[in-house]
Amino acid sequence: MASEKSFRPPQQRRSAATLDRIVQAAEELLAERTFDEATVDDIVARASSSKGSFYSRFADKEALLAYLGGECVARAKATWAEQLGPEDHADEPLEDVLERFVGRLLDEYRRAGGVMRALFLEARLSPGSEFEQMTDELDGHIRGALERFIASRSDVPNKSPRLAATTTMLMLDSAIREAVFYSNDRGGPLAVRPDDLRRELVRASCAYLRG
């Protein structure tokens, strides 16, 4: 989450409504353009707000991205343990669990694609920053849930659960990020329909984990 110094939570209902508009405007703009291209002027204009209202809540544009990124991390923590809890899915076929896992990754990246793209790019550009800490926390949380799931499966033989989870995440996450963040919207040579991508990634991850 953004630090107390960079984000000041609203104290009144009207202020909370203004914050909601600013957040929605930022999410919409980040789906359309890069973080550098989305200026504070653009955000407040889209939100029908003012720069004074923006700066009464956020120290700067980076603080807004940290707030949005923190919300993404919080949502992930609330969902992934449920998605991959070994005690809940021990008797399910591996394909069914991975189908749900891959589908959820795709849905999460599509739903918050602009924010996630900005967050990961800023993390790469600023090693050691709050953005890198957030993305590491998000990746580590999902990988940990996948590791615990793999360790519980008798149909995933002769593999280190940690290495298998890391490799599976690298395979799935890199493919999904490339497709959702860069290829599909511009119709490039690596563009692929979401249903086709999900099906093929499930097949590939099942083959790897069982091999």
Q: Is residue 88 part of a domain?
A: yes
On whether residue 204 sits in a domain, the answer given is: yes
Q: What is the pLDDT along the chain (211 residues), one digit of tens a residue?
A: 444 446 666 555 667 889 999 999 999 999 888 999 999 999 999 999 999 999 999 999 999 999 998 888 888 777 776 677 666 667 789 999 899 889 988 888 888 888 988 998 999 898 999 999 988 988 898 898 889 889 988 888 877 999 999 999 999 989 988 888 887 777 778 888 889 999 999 999 999 999 8
With a threshold of 0.85, does the pTM exceed it? no
Residue 57 lies in a domain: no
Does residue 73 lie within any of the structural domains?
A: yes
Q: Domain range for residue 80?
A: 66-210
pLDDT of the residue at 7 = 60
Which residue in this structure is represented by tokens 């809540």? 57
Q: State the pLDDT at residue 168.
A: 94
5 domain-assigned = no
User: What CATH number is given to the structural domain containing 79?
Assistant: 1.10.357
Q: Is residue 169 part of a domain?
A: yes
Two tokens at 90? 């021990």
**Helix, strand, coil % over all residues of the chain, rounded to 5:** 75, 0, 25
Q: CA–CA separation, 210 vs 167, rounded Å?
A: 13
Nearest-CA neighbor of 40 among 53, 52, 51, 29? 51
SS3 60: coil
Asked if the structure places residue 118 within a domain, the reply is yes
CA distance 42 to 29: 8
Q: Answer yes or no: is 159 within a domain.
A: yes
The pLDDT of residue 40 is 96
Q: Which residue type, as a one-letter code, is found at position 11? A: Q
Query: Which 3-state string (H, E, C) describes 1-52?
Result: CCCCCCECCCCCHHHHHHHHHHHHHHHHHHHHCCCCCCCHHHHHHHCCCCHH
| Backbone torsions φ then ψ of 102, nearest 5 degrees | -65, -40
Q: How many domains does the chain have?
A: 1
